[in-house]
Structures are given as C-alpha cells and as structure tokens.
C-alpha cells in the first residue's frame, strides 16, 4: 500500500502535499484525464479526500489480479455532505439515480448521517460529483483535514429545540466549509458551489479560517438534544448538548476532544470520550466552533498524523489551558455547564409523531446498505415511497433512514409499500439487532484487517440466539463491529465492541455505557468469532440472573466488577 503520509521531515508528507497543492488542486485534473490507468497520482489521492472522494480497489480480487499482472481493480468511494442527514424526496430520487448510473446500484448510509457510493470508476467521477451538486448537496470537505459533515439530533421537526439545533448545525457547516475555488474548478466547470455567491478562484485565493495547510487532521462536530444521544456526541472533536428547561432552549453545553481512532499496540493512540468545558448561548455556537477549530489549527500536531486529532492536542496542553485559549480567542467566557441526561444512543423504532401532528417512520437497515437483494429491495422500495409519498428522508448516525413528514392518511400506504418491497422486516427485529452496527470494511476499505459489514449478520444472529436462551431477547444491548481499530462504527462506545485484529479475529471490548457517555474496555485480544461467542455466553447468563431491572449490560459488567470502569473517558489496556 502506498503510504504518502509517513515522513522523517519536520512536518508530515501530507502537510507538504497540502501546502504545495494550490488550495487542493494538485494535479487532480491531469490525473482524471489520464485514461491509461484507473488510478490517480499519489499526491492527488491525498487531495481528493478534501473533495469527498477516496481511491480504493476491490480487495476481494487484489491477489488474483496481482497474479495476472493486472493493475488493481480501482474504484472511487464518494461521500456526500448532508447536514443532519436531512433531504427531500426529489434529492433521494437523484441519489438513487446516481447509484444506478455510476455505483453498482448501491447506496451506503454512513455513521455520520450521510451517504457513500462505492466502486465509481474514474471516468465517471466528475459526472457523479456534479450530479450530487446539482441537487444542492455537495461532497466538498466530506473527507480530508477539515470540518466534516455536521451531525444534528435526528429529525428537526420533533421539537423547537430540534429545529434550532438543526439550523445551527447548518450554520456551523456553512461557516466552516473551505473557501477554495479548486472544487468548483475541478468538478463544477467553474460554477459556484451551491449556497456560495461566487466561485472563489480569484486572486489572491485564501482560506480565512483554515489557512493553506488546512487542519492537522480531520475534525468532527455533532449536536445532540437530550434525552437522545442518537449522534453519539462524545465521539466528536466538538460536541454540543442542548440544554432545554421547561421547553425553552437555554443554550448548549460544549464538549471537546472526543474521537475513536487508535492503532493496535500503540499506546500513544487511544479512543477518548469528549469532555464538557462549559456552556454557550445559541447565538455563540458558531463562534465557539470557529475558535475551537482555530486552536486545533494552530496547536495540533503536524508532524505525526497518528497524534494529530484534537484529543491529543488537549491532552498535551490540558483541558483548562484549552478552555482558556478558546475563551481568549472568543473574547468572552463560557458559562458554567448545566446538567443533562441521555437515555440512549439508539434510534426510536417505528412511528413517531411530531408537534405538528405529522408522522416519521424509522426503517432500520443492516449496516445502512441500501440495495436490492433477493426479496429485500430497499433501493427500489425507497424509490417507490419517494415517488408515491414525496416524504422527507433523514439519515441517522446509526445507519438508519427515517421517512419523514407523513400524513395520517398516508401511513397505511407507506407500510404497504414497505411490506411489498421486503422492507418491513425490522418490525420483528430484537432491540439488539436494531442497534447493531458495522463499518464498511472489506472489500473496499484499504485499512480493514477483518470483515465487518459482511460479518455483522452472522454475529448478530449468534449473539441474539444466546440472548434468547438467557431470556434477554427484549434487552437493548449495543454491539458494534469494525474491521480495524480506527473505529468508524464507534465500537469503543458500544456495550459490546468488536475490533478487527486480523482475518477472522477480533479484540473484544466490553462495558461501555448504553447512553454513549463511557468508553468500554479491552476484555479479550485477537480471538475468533467462535471464541467471541464463548466469552459472551457466561457474561450474558450472569446478566440475565443477576442484572437489576432496567440495568444496562455495560453497567452490570462494571457493577459486578467483571469489567473495571474506565475512568475519565479514557481506555486503559492493563
């Protein structure tokens, strides 16, 4: 594998590439025009991420192609940027059309409220990205060392606080979107990005917030409205938790330094749950985001990418220093944080009614994979529903889809369509199955060490059957699987976390809080799927016998001292 991010010089190679890229242009245009190969130049692979796309190859056929002396089967992953995951039926239909034309009839809902396409050929990349921009969505800064898609508590229509939170998520996203004109030059034939007055390719071009080397590393923001923590706010570099008292939105507690990524065997890397530093008013939310970003821009590690996330910057300098530095730049102090309480990280199943009387229906989708397979025709089904009902579509951070704004008289029609296309199965799913998540992993992810999305159904079925034997089938236990320790399905915040170590082998983490506020702990290392089940069986049996009413599995493991609590949101490997 090509590793252009390692270097022995003062800054990492990625920093040099950014700095010399002319605001992320590099030689992307030339790479796209080169018809001899399905790949792009090495440096352009780094730069393309800022444009929302990754070069990948099909790892299932990698060895075979090597033997045949063929170049890898290259394809591109494209990630859209969709604040809060909220789109209209027409936009869904267009996303569906893009999948059908360019991405092998498959849409993947991600753990950050957006969609990804896989296996897009280089020759189709520009057309696909253009098509996304034509529906007033974009891909800029969906990946790369910038602020990514901003998460917002699922469904803005649920309350006034949800609506305001969604509005603020959009304001943060717009404020932190890169200014570079390279995106419009490369993908949009010079047309401005949606929402921008003009394409910024003027001279001198500038990035007022980021500067020409952007951030040291990716940056993630989420806004939650208690009691739901459906955005997993503690996993983000910057989190906001709405403080609502007597129906009135007072402001947001500000959390910093969350992140999941670590490397096996490297104790200088670790997952972290974000910590509260104070509270701000709704009017201050965007300014706080800007200054948290600029502190990370100026103090983040630009030598070692593995230690470059905000969590490490904060740990090097201290939380108190970080708060003071942010306040100094803001010119005001944050207020004292207020108490809040989360119940769950899960999406509420089935129908939910908003204050205006409209209905919203959550369809749980295994790993967020939307395609037509056998009798389960999710792609066709959502297409039929979008055409018939014109409802809203909301992607959740749990890789599910909420069909939104349904009138009373359309509920039966929607249910009938869902049944017709084999999409109503989740009505009978156990809470455990509904909450289970896996990252994409093989065959597209270059970093996967073990199966994840493709292993999920089997793990779910086997653990579900143990739970059934113990009489636990109605208990909601979170389980998340990733193919490597980067943590894309946030496994370190799951009561049962499985993290790929090698083919067919996983590290087993246990004991996180069901509300997403406490990390789990490494329990067994490098064990097979059979061994995972064998380890879980006695623990689930004891939970069934000794667990208190309403006590979550993770909490039980800690109370009973089967797992020691992880203090201060940190993970220790002792």
Q: Rounded CA gap, 161 and 155, in Å?
A: 11
- Report if residue 569 touches ligand SRM, rule: CB under 6 A: no
Residue 116 interacts, among ligand SRM, ligand SF4, none and using kind-specific CB cut-offs from 5 to 8 Å, with: ligand SRM
> Given candidates 45, 83, 111, 478, which one binds ligand SRM under the rule CB under 6 A?
111
- Report if residue 365 touches ligand SF4, rule: CB under 6 A: no
Residue 359 interacts, among ligand SRM, ligand SF4, none and using kind-specific CB cut-offs from 5 to 8 Å, with: none
> Given candidates 488, 493, 510, 527, which one binds ligand SRM under the rule CB under 6 A?
488
**Which 151-190 residues touch ligand SF4, going by CB under 6 A?**
none
The DSSP result for 128-195, as a single string, is HHHHHHHTT-B-TTSSSSSB-PPEE-S-TTS-HHHHHHHHHHHHHHHHTS---SHHHHHHSTTPPPTT
* Closer of 137 and 440 to ligand SRM (Cβ): 440
> Given candidates 129, 235, 385, 488, which one binds ligand SF4 under the rule CB under 6 A?
488
Of 6-14, 208-216, 285-293, 483-491, which part binds ligand SRM (CB under 6 A)? 483-491
User: How many chain residues interact with ligand SRM (CB under 6 A)?
Assistant: 31
How many CB atoms are located within 10 Å of the residue 276 CB?
18
Residue 482 interacts, among ligand SF4, ligand SRM, none and using kind-specific CB cut-offs from 5 to 8 Å, with: ligand SF4
Lookup result for tokens 């905000």: 310
What DSSP element (H or E) covers 275?
strand 275-280
Known catalytic residues? 79, 148, 218, 220, 439, 445, 484, 488
| Cα–Cα distance list, 252 to 25, 230, 396 (Å) | 37, 16, 21
Site string for ligand SRM, 232-251 (x = CB under 6 A): x--x----------------
> Given candidates 28, 363, 406, 448, which one binds ligand SF4 under the rule CB under 6 A?
448
> Given candidates 259, 278, 516, 547, which one binds ligand SRM under the rule CB under 6 A?
259
Q: Rounded CA gap, 279 and 487, in Å?
A: 28
- Beta partners for residue 504, in sequence order: none
How many CB atoms are located within 10 Å of the residue 238 CB?
25
Sequence-distant (6+) residues with CB within 8 A of 184 are 190, 191, 192, 193, 199, 200, 201
Of 107-115, 152-160, 343-351, 353-361, which part binds ligand SRM (CB under 6 A)? 107-115
> Given candidates 272, 291, 452, 520, which one binds ligand SF4 under the rule CB under 6 A?
452
- Report if residue 486 touches ligand SF4, rule: CB under 6 A: yes
Residues 426, 364 contacting (CB under 8 angstroms): yes
> Given candidates 122, 148, 275, 518, which one binds ligand SRM under the rule CB under 6 A?
148
Q: Rounded CA gap, 536 and 508, in Å?
A: 9
Six token digits for residue 487: 């943590």
- Report if residue 79 touches ligand SRM, rule: CB under 6 A: yes
How many CB atoms are located within 10 Å of the residue 90 CB?
13
How many CB atoms are located within 10 Å of the residue 12 CB?
23
Residues 235, 274 contacting (CB under 8 angstroms): yes
Site string for ligand SRM, 169-208 (x = CB under 6 A): ----------------------------------------
Sequence-distant (6+) residues with CB within 8 A of 154 are 84, 85, 113, 228, 230, 231, 347, 394, 396, 397, 402
- Report if residue 309 touches ligand SRM, rule: CB under 6 A: yes
Query: How far does CA 95 lie from the centroid of its chain?
Result: 19
Q: How far is the CB of 530 from ligand SF4 (least distance, A)?
A: 21
Residues 36, 68 contacting (CB under 8 angstroms): no
> Given candidates 83, 116, 229, 398, which one binds ligand SRM under the rule CB under 6 A?
116
> Given candidates 146, 274, 484, 522, which one binds ligand SF4 under the rule CB under 6 A?
484
Q: Which residues bind ligand SRM (CB under 6 A)?
A: 54, 56, 77, 79, 110-112, 114, 116, 118, 148-149, 218, 220, 232, 235, 259-261, 309, 439-440, 444-447, 486-490
Residues engaged in binding ligand SF4 (CB under 6 A): 439-441, 445, 447-448, 452, 482-484, 486-488
């Amino acid at each position: 594998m090509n590793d252009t991010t390692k270097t022995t010089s003062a800054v990492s190679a990625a920093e040099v590439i950014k700095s010399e890229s002319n605001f992320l242009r590099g030689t992307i245009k030339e790479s796209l025009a080169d018809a001899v190969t399905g790949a792009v130049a090495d440096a352009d692979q780094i730069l393309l991420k800022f444009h929302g796309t990754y070069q990948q190859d099909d790892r299932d056929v990698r060895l075979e192609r090597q033997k045949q002396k063929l170049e890898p089967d290259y394809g591109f992953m494209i990630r859209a940027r969709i604040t809060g995951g909220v789109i209209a039926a027409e936009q869904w239909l267009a996303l569906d059309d893009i999948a059908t034309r360019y991405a092998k009839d498959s849409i993947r809902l991600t753990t950050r409220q957006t969609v990804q396409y896989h296996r897009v050929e280089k020759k189709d990349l520009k057309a696909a990205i253009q098509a996304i921009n034509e529906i007033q969505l974009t891909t800029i800064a969906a990946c790369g060392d910038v602020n990514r898609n901003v998460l917002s508590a699922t469904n803005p229509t649920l309350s006034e606080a949800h609506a305001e939170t969604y509005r603020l998520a959009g304001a943060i996203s717009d404020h932190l979107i890169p200014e570079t004109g390279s995106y419009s030059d490369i993908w949009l034939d010079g047309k401005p990005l949606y929402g921008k007055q003009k394409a910024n390719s003027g001279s001198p071009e500038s990035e007022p917030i980021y500067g020409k080397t952007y951030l040291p590393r990716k940056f993630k923001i989420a806004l939650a409205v208690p009691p739901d923590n459906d955005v997993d706010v503690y996993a983000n570099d910057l989190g906001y938790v709405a403080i609502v008292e007597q129906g009135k939105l007072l402001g947001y507690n500000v959390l910093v330094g969350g992140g999941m990524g670590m490397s096996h065997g490297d104790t200088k890397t670790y997952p972290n749950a974000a910590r509260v530093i104070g509270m701000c008013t709704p009017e201050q939310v965007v300014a706080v985001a800007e200054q948290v970003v600029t502190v990370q821009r100026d103090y983040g590690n630009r030598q070692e990418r593995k230690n470059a996330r905000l969590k490490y910057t904060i740990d090097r300098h201290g939380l108190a220093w970080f708060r003071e530095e942010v306040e100094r730049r803001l010119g005001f102090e944050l207020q004292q944080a207020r108490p809040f309480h989360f119940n769950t990280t899960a999406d509420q199943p089935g129908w939910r009614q908003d204050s205006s009387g409209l209905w919203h229906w959550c369809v749980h989708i295994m790993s967020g994979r939307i395609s037509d397979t056998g009798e389960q025709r999710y792609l066709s089904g959502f297409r039929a529903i979008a055409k018939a009902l014109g409802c809203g579509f909301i992607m959740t951070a749990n890789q599910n889809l909420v069909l939104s704004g349904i009138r009373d008289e359309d509920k039966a029609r929607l249910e009938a369509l869902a049944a017709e296309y084999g999409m109503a199965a989740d009505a009978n799913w156990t809470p455990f199955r509904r909450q289970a998540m896996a990252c994409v992993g093989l065959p597209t992810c270059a970093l996967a060490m073990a199966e994840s999305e493709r292993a999920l159904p089997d793990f779910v079925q086997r653990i579900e059957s143990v739970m059934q034997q113990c009489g636990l089938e109605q208990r909601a236990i979170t389980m998340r699987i990733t193919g490597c320790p980067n943590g894309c399905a946030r496994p370190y915040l799951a009561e049962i976390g499985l993290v790929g170590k090698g083919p067919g082998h996983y590290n087993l983490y246990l004991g996180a809080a069901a509300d997403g506020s406490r990390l789990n702990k490494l329990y067994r290392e490098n064990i097979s799927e059979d061994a995972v089940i064998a380890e879980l069986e006695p623990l689930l049996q004891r939970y069934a016998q000794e667990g208190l009413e309403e006590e979550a599995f993770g909490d039980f493991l800690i109370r009973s001292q089967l797992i020691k609590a992880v203090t201060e949101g940190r993970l220790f490997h002792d």
